[in-house]
Structure 1
Amino acid sequence: MKKAILVAGATGNLGSKICRELLKREADVSAIVRTSSDPEKIETLAKMGVKVIEVDLNRIDEIAKACAGTHCVVSALAGLGDVIVDLQKRILDGAIQAGVPRFIPSDFCTDYNDLVPGENRNFDLRRAFKAYLDNTFIQASSVFNGAFADILKYNTPVLNLKDKSIGYWGEKADWKLDFTTMDDTAAFTAEVALDDSAPRDLQIASFQVSPNNLWADVKEASGQEFRIQQLSSLEDFARFIKKQRADNPAGENELYAKWQQSQYMYSMFSTQHHQLANERYKNLTWTRSLAFIKSFVH
């Protein structure tokens, strides 16, 4: 019998990829979307074979009706407190009301459990929802993928193609950073959604690579020797982020605040995934660092 999986946030990039991976595994996939969702995105999901259910996401009873008969609800929502906390709570409440046994929250990021509250706004939102989720009886599983590997393409301080530089903070030129491609994250999440024995927390990484490793990969991929540099101490970086946030109060209401990238960079140099669950599902293959670098560095 096919397992029924419902995805929230299916019109987003990660959500649509999770739907695709679930369909590959012959799951019965449905998606709840706002009545105001982009018709083209809804049509794309429907053509994939996803049953799209338009609901008023402010109404728990409508969410519960959509969740009826579902084995697991997967949340791939992205946003601020009104989404990550408030909307996810309503979806969780609807799932519980419908008797759904399992829930995967939108924790697609670095494992924040050992990080200090207050250092990353988006992690704090996920912490707030986690506290609510863990106070219910539903079986939950979080997928922690570190950073999405695509950020390496966007000229961040860690890898800046425009400036031909690689940066790090503190004495951490050999510190391993956790990166996972969105495709790898989606495939793993699909496996977790279908795995009734999945544990509470699962750490993954397509590859773990240090700034020095990145330098070597870039050289092998392109023949170029990028400048590698310490940007500051971690303590100075933390003070800079605090000031940057204080100077930009409007950012509290912006999904991509000016200081949010810095907070993510700081977290990447503050914690690592030490218990990778990559081998849990033997049919998965993982993107390697050099192969990924070669896909966009020439």
Structure 2
Amino acid sequence: MTMTILIAGATGDLGGRIINALLERGANVRALVRPGTDAAKVAKLEQRGVTIVRADLSDVPGLTQACTGVSCVVSALQGLGDVIIDGQSTLLDAALAAGVPRFIPSDFSSDYTQLPVGYNRNFDLRRSFNQHLDTKAGIAATSILNGAFAELLTYSIPFLDFKKKQIGYWESADWRVDFTTMDNTAAYTAAVALDVSSPRILRIASFQISANELAPIAEDVMHQSFEVVRLGSRDELAAYNQRERTAHPEGEQDVYPNWQRSQYIHSMFSVQNNPLDNDRYPDITWTSVRELLATRR
């Protein structure tokens, strides 16, 4: 029997990719969109056979109706506490009321279960929601931890800085960072949504790579030299992040203030996905760092 999957955050980048992956696997897809969502985005989904359900994250009856008959709810929501904790909690309650058996929260991050509270604000929000999720009987959850989105490597971040022509790292040049492309993450999420036996946590990475490993590949693909540069220790980076957060409290109202971006970098150099669950779905082809960097040339 064909499963019906509900996607929250359907008009976002990751949400849209998850929908594409689900359609490729033959699933029925419902897209939860807020009233007032851009009509052109909604029309594109409808043209692909996606069922549109309009409901605000505070609309319990509307959310419950949206969840009725659904095999799994996938949350690709992004935001602060009002979305990640409050909105997802309301969506979870609606899923429970509708008898939905499975829920995939919007984690999609480094393995925050290995990090102490306070080192990454956005991960702490996810931790709080998952603590609430684990108190709910009658629904099974799967968190997908994918490290950093690999597309970051094409944006000139400190780990691969095209302007400075350097590979920047913290602590150790041999520390391997987890990266997963958005398409790989979406394909894996679609497989999990249709897998009734999926466990509580799954860890994936398109590739794991250190500064020392990245340098020669970047030089070969980009045809330029890159210097491997130590930018400090993890403790120094954590202390810097705390100072910046204290100095810029206005960032607490922003999903990605500068200090939060730096907290993500600290997480990348603090935790690793081990062991990986990449082999759970053999039909997924994982993108290599070489393939990714070739798209930037």
- Matches of 1:31 and 1:222 in 2, distance apart? 39
| Aligned partners of 1:20 and 1:48 also within 8 Å | no
Partner of 1:183: 183
Q: Deviation per CA, 1:46-69, whole angstroms, max 9, x where unpaired?
A: 112210111232121210111100
| Aligned partners of 2:146 and 2:204 also within 8 Å | yes
Do structure 1's residue 262 and structure 2's residue 262 form an aligned pair?
yes
2:79 partner SS: coil
1:53 partner SS: strand
- Matches of 1:196 and 1:146 in 2, distance apart? 24
1:36, distance to aligned residue in structure 2 (A): 1.6
- Matches of 1:244 and 1:136 in 2, distance apart? 37
Partner of 1:36: 36
Partner of 2:153: 152
- Matches of 2:263 and 2:233 in 1, distance apart? 14
1:113 partner SS: helix
- Matches of 1:234 and 1:2 in 2, distance apart? 47
Do structure 1's residue 252 and structure 2's residue 252 form an aligned pair?
yes
Q: Give the counterpart letter for 2:30 in structure 1.
A: S
- Matches of 1:85 and 1:57 in 2, distance apart? 11
1:152, distance to aligned residue in structure 2 (A): 0.9
- Matches of 1:123 and 1:205 in 2, distance apart? 18
Q: Give the counterpart letter for 1:126 in structure 2.
A: R
Q: Deviation per CA, 1:29-82, whole angstroms, max 9, x where unpaired?
A: 001111121111111111122101112321212101111000000000001111
- Matches of 1:174 and 1:225 in 2, distance apart? 19
2:208 partner SS: strand
Partner of 2:195: 195
- Matches of 1:20 and 1:49 in 2, distance apart? 11
Alignment of 1:280-291 (within 5 A): 280-291=280-291
1:235, distance to aligned residue in structure 2 (A): 1.6
Alignment of 1:164-243 (within 5 A): 164-170=165-171, 172-243=172-243
- Matches of 1:113 and 1:48 in 2, distance apart? 37
Which 4+ stretches in 1 moved above 2 angstroms? none
| Aligned partners of 2:181 and 2:287 also within 8 Å | yes
| Aligned partners of 1:149 and 1:179 also within 8 Å | yes
Which structure 2 segments of 5+ residues have no match?
A: none
- Matches of 1:233 and 1:73 in 2, distance apart? 40
1:143 partner SS: strand
**Identity, % of aligned pairs?**
50
Q: Give the counterpart letter for 1:161 in structure 2.
A: F
2:96 partner SS: helix
Alignment of 1:117-132 (within 5 A): 117-132=117-132
Structure 1 range deviating more: 92-101 or 37-46: 37-46
Q: Give the counterpart letter for 1:163 in structure 2.
A: K
Across the aligned residues of Structure 1 and Structure 2, the Cα RMSD in angstroms comes to: 0.9
1:45 partner SS: helix
- Matches of 2:65 and 2:77 in 1, distance apart? 19
Q: Give the counterpart letter for 1:281 in structure 2.
A: Y
1:223, distance to aligned residue in structure 2 (A): 2.9
- Matches of 2:248 and 2:54 in 1, distance apart? 37
1:222, distance to aligned residue in structure 2 (A): 2.6
2:178 partner SS: strand
Partner of 1:140: 141
Which structure 1 segments of 5+ residues have no match?
A: none
Aligned length: 296
- Matches of 1:56 and 1:263 in 2, distance apart? 30
| Aligned partners of 2:151 and 2:292 also within 8 Å | no
1:267 partner SS: helix
- Matches of 1:82 and 1:217 in 2, distance apart? 41
1:124, distance to aligned residue in structure 2 (A): 0.3
1:282, distance to aligned residue in structure 2 (A): 1.1
- Matches of 2:86 and 2:58 in 1, distance apart? 10
Q: Give the counterpart letter for 1:119 in structure 2.
A: Y
